[in-house]
Every structure is written in C-alpha cells, then in structure tokens.
Structure 1
Amino acid sequence: MAYKDVYASWQTDPEKFWLSAAEAIDWDEAPVTALTDKGNDLYEWFADAKVNTCYNAVDRHVENGHGARVAIIHDSPITGTVHKLTYRELQERVASLAGALRAKGIEKGDRVIIYMPMVPEAIEAMLACARIGAIHSVVFGGFAANELAVRIDDATPKAIIAASCGLEPNRVVHYKPLVDGAIELAKHKPEFCVILQREQEVAKLGARDVDWHGFQAGVAPAECLPVEGNHPAYILYTSGTTGAPKGVVRHTAGHLVALNWTMKNIYNVDPGDVFWAASDVGWVVGHSYICYAPLIHGNTTIVFEGKPVGTPDAGTFWRVISEHNVKSFFTAPTAFRAVKREDPKGEFVKKYDLSCLKTVYLAGERADPDTIQWALDQLNVPVIDHWWQTETGYAIAANPMGIEHMPVKLGSPSVAMPGYDVQILDEGGHPMKPGALGAIAIKLPLPPGTLPTLWNAEERFRKSYLTHFPGFYETGDAGMIDEDGYLYIMARTDDVINVAGHRLSTGGMEEVLASHPDVAECAVIGVTDQLKGQMPVGFLCLNTGAGRKDSAVVAECVKLVREKIGPVAAFKSAVVVDRLPKTRSGKILRATMVKIADGEPYKAPATIDDPAVLDEIKIALQSIGYAK
C-alpha cells in the first residue's frame, strides 16, 4: 500500500485506523472506543482500555521466547565500556526495582522524578515506574538545582531517582549535591531518594537517601499493574518562552499504539533490528526512541554516553554504528554539523564498515540541505529529515520509509503522517495557498500519543496551543506546503522577520548560508531597525581548516544571499563566531541572541549548554555595531 492510500484510509475513518493499529499491543482489556471527545477541544484516546506499558516493552517479549534477545546496549566512550542487557535480564532488573519502589510506598498515580545520566538504569527507572502505574518525570541530568526545584514543586514527586554523578568528556557532573540543593530550594519535599552509586564518584548518602542496590535486597519483585488507557505514563517538562516550564502529559494507551506504529512505518525496522537514537533520556527523543518505542516493538536500543566528536574523535558515531550493527540511526542535524565541521571530507567515515546502516533520520532543528547532502555523500544511504515536537511525541511530518520511500526534497521533512491534518494559516486563521509562508497548525483532534493537556494546567494548555486558531493546535512553527503536499519548516513563528513590510524566513537565509563550502554551521536572527523594522544578521561557524580570511567568507555569504533570495532580504551583516549558543539538546538559542543584539536584558536559559558562549556572541555583535 502506498503512502497516499494509508493516509487516505486514516482520513476516511480515523478511529478504525487507530483501532487497527492498536491490535499490535497486548491489552488487559482491549479498547472498544478509539476517541473520546470530552468537549471544549479536549480529547482522549483508548480511555476505556486497560494496559501496562512495561509489560508491552519487556515482559511480552520474554514470554514470546525472545528473552535472550539484546534489549539495551550501553556504549560509553567516556568510560571506555560496552555493556549489553537481554530482555530477560531487563525484566528481572525492572521488576526488582519496581518491587523496591512499591515496598517504599510508591503507588499508582504517584509521581517519581528521574534525574539520571545516560546509563541503562535510567531506562530501568522509567520502566519500573510504568510497571506499577507511577508517573515518571525525567529531568535532564545536570540541570541546575533551581530548575530541578521548579519541577519538584510542579510534579510533587513522592521520590527522586538519581545517580551519584554524570560524566562528560572532560569532567564529572556532581548530581547528588544538585539533588540536595534542589530539595532544599523546593517547597515540596520528596519522601526518599534512590541513589545509583557510580564508581567515578561515590556520593555521601543522607537520612532520606537509599542505595539503588541496597534497598532492593530481599524485596519481592513487582508484577505489571494494568492501568486505564488515559492514565498518565509520564510528565515531560518543556521550557516555555516565559514563566515556568510546561509539563507535557502523555497518556498510556495512545503512547503505546502510536510509538509501536512508527517503528515499522516510519523507521522501517523489524523486531530484533538495532535502532539508535543519539539523544538523551531527558529529552522527548530519549523517551520515545531510546526507551519506549524500540522496546515496545522488540528492537535493540542503544544508550550512548558521550559526544559525537571528541570521544575520542569525529568517528565515534561511525564506530558505534559499525560495532553494534545499527540499521536505523536517528540524531539531530546539529550533531552532524559538529562532525562535518571536524571532518569535512569524511576521513573518519572511511575507517568503518557501515554496510549495516540502511537509513539516517534527522530531527530537532531545521536540517539544512548542505548538511543532508554531506551526509548523503559520506554514507550513501537515505538521509531523512522529519519534524515533530516534545508535545507530539513522534513525527508530524516524515518520509514513511516502511510504507514507501517517497522522493526526498531537500529542505522539507516530507509529508504529514496519518493522524495529522497539517495546514498553513494566515494571522486571521485562514488557509493559505501552496507556497505561501504562514503559521503551521494541525486540525483537532490530534492523534494518539500526543499531549491531551499540561500537568495541572489546563488553562495554560488552551492558551498555549488552542486559543489563537480555534479548532486547531498551534505548533509555534512557520512554514509552507508546496503543490505536492510537502511541508517546509522555515522557522519558529517568532523567527519570521518583517523587513520593510516583507515577511521573510530566517530559515531560508540560513539554508543559503549553509550552502557556502566554508560554512559548517550558521544562524540568522532579526534585529530591531528603526527604518525597516527588522534587519537580518548572520552568524557563521567555519569548517576546521578552512584557511580563509573571515572577511572574505562574510563578503561571499552576503553576496550569496543577495543572489539566492534577492535584495528584498536586506542581508548585509554577518559575523564569524567559534560556536553558537545552544540548548543541551542542540537547539540554537535565537531568541536570546536577539535580546543581546537589541541591547535588552537577558539571562542564560536553564537549558543552555555553555553560558560563556553568550559573552562571545555579544562581543561578536559589538564588532558589527550591535549589542550596545
């Protein structure tokens, strides 16, 4: 069946489509009703079902004779170790941890915050919560105490599961003092903390702390507890533009059905294949495609502790793929740009046998055509951009490789997936013609597995996503759809700039800049201009060993934008920088850069990878007359 037929079958009868997909899940009580309309633009999927996530991710594979299959490969170039866990071993470890949590009073509906590095125990903690119906909230390991405290007060967890430390290529991150500091700052106090002691740093335990292994001793393992289909599986906090972070809720049944469907239809992997999402469990990719989807589908998933370059070199990705027989690889464009910058000619790629690799997927930031083309040239496999959000939990638009390998259009994450009626709207909420730039919105209801609300914040949910375009979910992204139905994500809505009355996409300018042979990575922001309203300013990171004068590259880039987009872009200012300010998940902090350029007060966002880079950006902007 071709993509258009699959999409049409969803359009014709959405509930029948998703009930059919639900047959791949093992239910305690199978759903009879797919969609429940709660009124006021609120919906729930499979609310009448009873099911357990951990059973579907672990136990059923053991019961079906696959206990010896490897479930998790932990690869840590930082410690120089590789460790594999089978599904049977994972079942035993998760049941033991779940039993110990239950013995300490954790019950269905209780919240548990997980604050862990990239170790298998992070996955075990998530699954142990799911096993007994607890609601986990994973917080990115290394977040400052204040950010952790904010999440403690919002989720009000009964327990925190953490490690003694996290590891980065050149430093040890002291997790236990951060946890203690966060609890001290928070109004809500958890009853106990479970601490995984790592040999690189053994933490001193206090009165509320229990040792990961010690508190499991002599405790009966827990069986899987069936929960309602609309029972929250987890809360994942995503930073809002203002105020407290937003707690995205994921309901259990829809999450299971949708993620399982994506593994074959989007990522084209079969049970037993090795799937690697090079992300962190603290982000949505880590939830969906390191932990849940691969295990639900019976795949082998990789938990990777390291960086794409520097651990030990720019060949780390290729070593992991080759060594562990990875079939499908998923990472962020920013990771590929980092590798490309260090190894523009792909010398490290040539060192490894990558014949196992069939497809590469990119998401998280706009995948500029130049980066995709570099990856295509080096890897000789399809490189697929796809687009989704923390809120949706999986791809809104993609090239569905397990259904049909559709023609790739560079710069586009391809077409809307079943469940998503994606439209381009003007500021008044009216549909726009093909090729016109506008706000990307999705007609309600959203499909299974997407957010039904925010944790304890229904009004904020409405205001953030449902109010601007009644009957639609507002994505916050801007883009266009072409005549063939291909979607182009051009920028966040806030990054569409107005130059002398012309609405222009900063993403379109970035695409042009990235095509310059010496540019490894770039960003464009709109700065305030008294005459034209806004003016674009470009930031260029050059390839290692480019050997060119910065002024020459800048002049060529300005000329390139003028040639490709035209004088209307008014692109006259660019500056070379060593690095761009990013979140730990690789997103460029354009809004903070705008504040710096306009001379407004700003502070380093909690998610920033390295706050020192903001000072470098300010100095660079001052060199071209901004940030006064």
Structure 2
Amino acid sequence: MSGTDSLVQLIDSPLRLLPPEWTVPDRVTALKAARDLGDPDSYWEWVARQQRWSSPWHTVRTGDIEDFRYFEGGRINVADNCVDRWAEDPATAGRAAVVWEGEPGDTRTLTYAELAEEVSRLAAGLLALGVQKGDVVGIYMPNLVEAFTTIHACNRIGAIYTVLFSGFGEEAVASRLQAARASVVVVADASYRRGKPVPLLATLRAARGRAPSVRATVVVDRTGDGAPLQEGEHAYAKVLEAGNAGTPVVPLDPNEPSFLIFTSGTESKPKGVVHSVGGFLLGTWANAHWQAGYEPGDVYWVAADVGWLTFPIQAVVGGLACGMTIACFEGALDTPTTARFYEICERHRVTKVLAAPTLARMLRKFGDDLAAEHPLPALKLVTMQGEPLDGDTFEWTTTTFGVPVVNAYGQTETGSTWTYPVYGAEALKAGSVGTAVPGHTFEVVDDDGQPVPPGVKGNLVLTAPFPTLARTVWDDHERYRATYFSRFAGRYATHDEAVLDADGHLWVLGRADDVINVAAHRISTMEIEAVVTAHPAVVEAAVVGVPDDTKGTVPIAFVTLRADADPSSVPGEIGRHVVAEMGGYARLEAVYVTSAMPKTRTGKTMRRLLRDLVVHGQPTGDISAMEDPGALDVVAAVVRA
C-alpha cells in the first residue's frame, strides 16, 4: 500500500474496547442474535417482522443485485409504521415525535398522536387537490415540522415525494421539478438562514414556468407575513382544513417507488435516484436501530438538512419507525452565536447527535473554552457520516464530550449507512467505519475485480442486494445499470477506494476519481489530507489535484487554521510535513490558507469547486447545492492573491 505513514499508523492502531459505561448489554445480545441469523435474507426477514404489514409476503427476495425485489405479495405503508402505530398505542401516543426549533428561537413539539392527526388531514387535503397514488410531490422547504408531515402525507396515500434543498435557486428547482414531472409542490414562503429570510416561494414562482407539470402549490406560512397567494396556490392551513376528516393509509407493494432524490454534480441533467416503499422503510429502521438505537428518554438530533438523504434515513423515516423523539433545527449552527449547538442540546436535553464531521471541526474551531462552558451531561452518543472522519477530529470529539463517536459510511444510492461500529456493542477505531452491519456484504477489489488482501487499497464494491439499495434512476434505467454495475459484473460499484485492516475494520479513503497521478505515482488526495489535518494548527483541509505541464498532476491544499495559528509559517510547515511523511512525489504545489470553504448545507466540502478556482478561475459545474456562495468569493480572493 502506497501512501501516508500517518494513515497507516491510524489503520494499524489498536481497537478500543468499549468501557462499561459505554456498553449497552441488551444491544450486545441483540447484535449477536442478528449476526447469528447468517445469510442476509434471513436477517432481512427478521427486520420485516419488526414492522406492521397490511398483508403478509410469500417470498423474501427474488432476483440478483442488478434487478431484485423484496417481500413479494406483502403490502405495507411507511406512514403507518412511522406514525400511526405509535399514535395508536397508549404507551407511546403522548411521546414527543418531533421537537423543532427555528433559527429565530421559536419552538414547536408534536407528539405521535398530534403528528398522526396532522399527517392524515394533510394527506386528505392533498387528495382533494387531485394528488393520486404515483403522482410526484415536490417538497421545497428547510427543516420544518411541515417537512415531516408532508413526507408522511405522501407516504400515506402512495404519492412519490422528492425533497428539494432549500438553498436551491431558480434553475436547480426548475430542472428537478421538470425531471420529476411533479404535479404539486409544498413550499415554505421563506426560510431563516443566518438571521435573514431566504425567499422560497418567490423562487418557486420564477421556476414554475419551466415545470409545466406542476398544477398546484401548497404554501407554508413560515414567516407569518400572510402575503397574498396567486392562482393555483393554496395555504397549507386551508389544505389541512379541507382534509379535516382524514384518510386511511393505502397498502402498497414494498417495491413501488417511494421517493426520488436528485444528485448534483458536474452533469447538466439531474440524476433522480429512486428508493422503494418497503425497502427504504426496512433498511432505515435497521439503520437507525443499530447506529443510534432507541433508549427510554432519548432525544435524537439529526443535525442535517432535510435535503440530505441522511435526514429521511435517520429522522423522518428510520428514526420515527423506531419510535424515537427527533430534534430538528431550522438554521445555521453558528447563528446568532457560536454557542448555538450547545444551547440546542441543553434546551432540548439531546442525548444523541448525528452530523457530518464538519460540525465537529467547526466546534473545535470555536474552542475548548466554549465546550467547557457547556458540558452536555445528557449526551450519550455522537455519530458522524457524509465525509471521511480524520483521527484528530475523532479524538477531539471523544475527549471533549466523553461519549463514543460512531463513524458511519453509506451513499445516496445505498439508501442508508451500512458499515459502522454498532452503538453500545462494538469496538471503535479512530477514523474507521467499523464492520458491515448485518444484511450487507462487500469486497475490496483491484481494477480487475479480484479481492485484495488486508492492508491493500482497492475499489469498494457491494456483493449482494439489500432493501435500501436504489432500484433505478428515474426515467433512465440504463444509466442506473451503466453507472453502478458495468465495471464489476454482478457487484455494485461504490466508486470509492477503501482498505480493510487486520482487525476487519473498513477504511473508506474517498472517491476513486480523487486518485491523481503525480509523475507516474498514483496517490489519493484523501491520503494527503490525512497528513495535512494531522498538523496541530489545521482545523480543516481539502486537497485537490490540478494539471501540471511536467508532472501531469500536482496536489494543492486549502486549509483553515486555528485562531492562534501563524498563517505565515504554517503553510511551509505543512509542506515539509507532507514530504517527510509521504515522500517528495506528494509535495504540495501550493497551500492556501482560507477562512471558509465552499460546502453543501450538509457540510460536505465541494472540492471540485476548489479545483475549478485554481484551474479555470471560476466554477464550471453545478453550484446549486452550495450553502454560502460567499465562501467561494473568500477562496477566490486567496487564490488570486
């Protein structure tokens, strides 16, 4: 294995067995029983039996990984399992389902009984607007209670929903509504972000001319402005009123489409990944069950945007299917002060947090003194996903909060995270994503598709189907097959590189297309990042490859530093450190110190935009998912300086 001494040392670090205070004996027993079921189909049958079915299935699975179906003959409803069954049980009807806080400080809590009533009324109201089973409903709003109610109103009647990131502009909204052939859009009039209202209804109105399939809009009055509605627009409150009688759940084939999620990138045509009704429900129940796990008194804060698939997985579907209390926050976690994260945890007695590693890096940047002022005694778990978790961030988070840090890995297409150390039951290793949870099988293979031994870097592939794996690309099944199954026959290509260590723990190193050739040496930019972030002054780093006339490609780094770091000396130290750790072929061509990075609202650094700024002087691809366009200006100024 070529590459980084720092990364090799991290991979070879010893397993950390859970101390007694972090161990949950019942979960240890349950996990062993699940693994003892053996084959994946037996496990998924066990998962299916934890749900409520309208009618039973006769076959667990048919087909192979490219064309599979689960639980043929059965009928199920997602809203019934996430909402109704808890509302009907006297022991759980009064349990808080959603605890919501807006950026301005307003709050709202819905019990399972209250959530069930509003979902049923909204579903009936959508039916009155002409929404039918199989119609697509666009949801264009931030983290609001109405995101929960709208998703489950669609689930209740068999409508297909697609969530549009509330940071999208006119073009991104129009292209996705057009691609989805959406018939109705539920939109907030605005959202609050960093103290300012962001107009959503106005953006939707501008986009509707290019989405002729949209025949009606339902408007959530988030700001209280009560602005006049235009033709074809209906107030959310009026739609609820029209549906006062409610409507029963519709039993659905578990393999029918449930929702679309559009990926963004450099391609001009949005790619709508399709997830299924029962597959997504079963897989996300299992995901939330093992990764976070309901315990009495839990308040589980999924600190992610509803437009990131993690939010439906862990909160709207998986979390509620487990009967959990979900905390939901609308705004930016540094607004109005850097203490906002801690204040939310304190105010709502949050016990478990899920976020991207970026959140932990941000909190670390805010300083240890701030963390010490807010000790968070109720907190029991921090779990992270979305980007590689470096060892330093793992150590800081573990030490600062005194709780286990679970690092998980999955993709939009896998519909859930599928490898991580199970909370309360399995050993941890800083930076690794643990072992595959029950029901999932994988290999690390070379470019010819042959498995590589432990310690050798290769391509990460999945070798068997599972319920949450995407079923197709909307209106383009050939694109689905070509993208994920053409390279390694009979296996799903994640397009990520990984290493399996001697303890059986998996390390995902990043996208295979982030591997660069420097003077005929192949190296992953993520490996270089592992060295750069190990420097004590670095809070965050992103490494990209750019063209070079002599070497073909050279790596450059963008870094954000601790407040007390010297920006004049640290870049040179970082450069020397990379050469010392990896060799001269990995020498950084440049180190740019920046106070901001272009990120999606989910916290993922948009590395391709960093490369664009250096190579082209401006972005060349899709920037619709970027949270703060001002960050790009900050980086551009640094590059031009």
TM-score bracket relative to the smaller structure:
over 0.9
Q: Does 1:196 align with 2:215?
A: no
Q: Which has the higher contact order (CA 8 A, sep 6+)?
A: 2
Q: Does 1:482 align with 2:506?
A: no
Aligned to 1:452: 471
Q: Does 1:583 align with 2:583?
A: no
Partners in 2 of 1:522 and 1:603 — Cα distance?
21
Quickly say closer, same or farther: Cα 1:324–1:170, change in 2 above 3 A: closer
Runs of 5+ consecutive residues of structure 1 not aligned to the other structure: 624-628
| Equivalent in 347, 362, 365 of residue 323 of structure 1 | 347
Quickly say closer, same or farther: Cα 1:593–1:3, change in 2 above 3 A: farther
| Equivalent in 405, 415, 419 of residue 426 of structure 2 | 405
Partners in 1 of 2:162 and 2:352 — Cα distance?
27
Partners in 2 of 1:560 and 1:373 — Cα distance?
21
How far did residue 3 of structure 1 move?
9.5
Partners in 2 of 1:126 and 1:318 — Cα distance?
29
**Preserved contact between residue 165 and residue 200 of structure 1 (Cα < 8 Å):** no
Aligned to 1:205: 229
**Preserved contact between residue 271 and residue 297 of structure 1 (Cα < 8 Å):** no
**Preserved contact between residue 350 and residue 378 of structure 2 (Cα < 8 Å):** yes
Q: Does 1:510 align with 2:517?
A: no
Partner deviation per Cα, 1:238-280 (whole Å, 9 max, x = no partner): 1244231211111111222222222332213236521111011
**Preserved contact between residue 575 and residue 587 of structure 2 (Cα < 8 Å):** no
How far did residue 51 of structure 1 move?
0.7
Partners in 2 of 1:585 and 1:57 — Cα distance?
24
Partner deviation per Cα, 1:407-446 (whole Å, 9 max, x = no partner): x22221111222322222222222222222222111132x
One-letter amino acid matched to 1:369 = G
**Preserved contact between residue 300 and residue 351 of structure 2 (Cα < 8 Å):** yes
Q: Does 1:390 align with 2:390?
A: no
Partners in 1 of 2:602 and 2:471 — Cα distance?
24
Partners in 1 of 2:109 and 2:319 — Cα distance?
15
For the residue of structure 2 that corresponds to 1:417, the secondary structure is coil
For the residue of structure 2 that corresponds to 1:415, the secondary structure is coil
Aligned to 1:72: 98
Alpha-carbon RMSD across the aligned residues, in angstroms, is 2.0
For the residue of structure 1 that corresponds to 2:49, the secondary structure is helix
- Overall identity of the aligned pairs, in %: 32
How far did residue 203 of structure 1 move?
3.3
Quickly say closer, same or farther: Cα 1:79–1:622, change in 2 above 3 A: closer
Partner deviation per Cα, 1:368-415 (whole Å, 9 max, x = no partner): 11111111121011112111111112112101125x221x22221111
Aligned to 1:28: 54
Aligned to 1:16: 42
Aligned to 2:454: 434
Partners in 1 of 2:34 and 2:475 — Cα distance?
34
Partners in 1 of 2:49 and 2:93 — Cα distance?
22
Aligned to 2:560: 541
Partner deviation per Cα, 1:1-53 (whole Å, 9 max, x = no partner): 6799567546x42211111111110001122211121x682112223210111
| Equivalent in 161, 174, 183 of residue 208 of structure 2 | 183
Q: Does 1:554 align with 2:574?
A: no
**Preserved contact between residue 49 and residue 253 of structure 1 (Cα < 8 Å):** no
How far did residue 500 of structure 1 move?
1.9
**Preserved contact between residue 288 and residue 313 of structure 2 (Cα < 8 Å):** no
Partners in 1 of 2:68 and 2:225 — Cα distance?
46
The correspondence of residues 93-242 of structure 1 with structure 2, limited to 5 A, is 93-186=118-211, 188-219=212-243, 220-242=245-267
Quickly say closer, same or farther: Cα 1:231–1:89, change in 2 above 3 A: same
**Preserved contact between residue 269 and residue 328 of structure 1 (Cα < 8 Å):** no
Partner deviation per Cα, 1:85-143 (whole Å, 9 max, x = no partner): 11111111111111111112111111111111211011100011111111111111131
One-letter amino acid matched to 1:31 = W
TM-score (norm 2): 0.91
Partners in 1 of 2:453 and 2:197 — Cα distance?
53
For the residue of structure 2 that corresponds to 1:193, the secondary structure is strand
Partners in 2 of 1:162 and 1:287 — Cα distance?
17
| Equivalent in 498, 508, 512 of residue 493 of structure 1 | 512
How far did residue 200 of structure 1 move?
4.8
One-letter amino acid matched to 1:573 = A
Partner deviation per Cα, 1:450-472 (whole Å, 9 max, x = no partner): 21111121011011111111111
**Preserved contact between residue 176 and residue 203 of structure 1 (Cα < 8 Å):** no
Partner deviation per Cα, 1:556-575 (whole Å, 9 max, x = no partner): 11122122223342235212
| Equivalent in 364, 372, 391 of residue 369 of structure 1 | 391
Quickly say closer, same or farther: Cα 1:88–1:9, change in 2 above 3 A: same
Aligned to 2:316: 291
For the residue of structure 2 that corresponds to 1:579, the secondary structure is coil
Greater CA deviation, 156-165 or 580-589?
580-589
**Preserved contact between residue 162 and residue 195 of structure 1 (Cα < 8 Å):** yes
For the residue of structure 2 that corresponds to 1:28, the secondary structure is strand
**Preserved contact between residue 65 and residue 464 of structure 2 (Cα < 8 Å):** no
TM-score (norm 1): 0.93
| Equivalent in 309, 321, 338 of residue 362 of structure 2 | 338
Aligned to 2:109: 84
Partners in 2 of 1:391 and 1:489 — Cα distance?
16
Aligned to 1:570: 587
One-letter amino acid matched to 1:557 = I
Partners in 2 of 1:145 and 1:271 — Cα distance?
44
One-letter amino acid matched to 2:100 = H
Aligned length: 611
**Preserved contact between residue 264 and residue 270 of structure 1 (Cα < 8 Å):** no
One-letter amino acid matched to 1:93 = E
How far did residue 322 of structure 1 move?
2.4
Runs of 4+ in 1 over 6 A off after TM superposition: none
**Preserved contact between residue 54 and residue 128 of structure 1 (Cα < 8 Å):** yes
Partner deviation per Cα, 1:534-590 (whole Å, 9 max, x = no partner): 11111111122x151x23101111122122223342235212112111122221111
Q: Does 1:522 align with 2:522?
A: no
For the residue of structure 2 that corresponds to 1:55, the secondary structure is helix
How far did residue 215 of structure 1 move?
2.8
**Preserved contact between residue 50 and residue 228 of structure 1 (Cα < 8 Å):** yes
One-letter amino acid matched to 1:620 = V
**Preserved contact between residue 386 and residue 395 of structure 1 (Cα < 8 Å):** yes
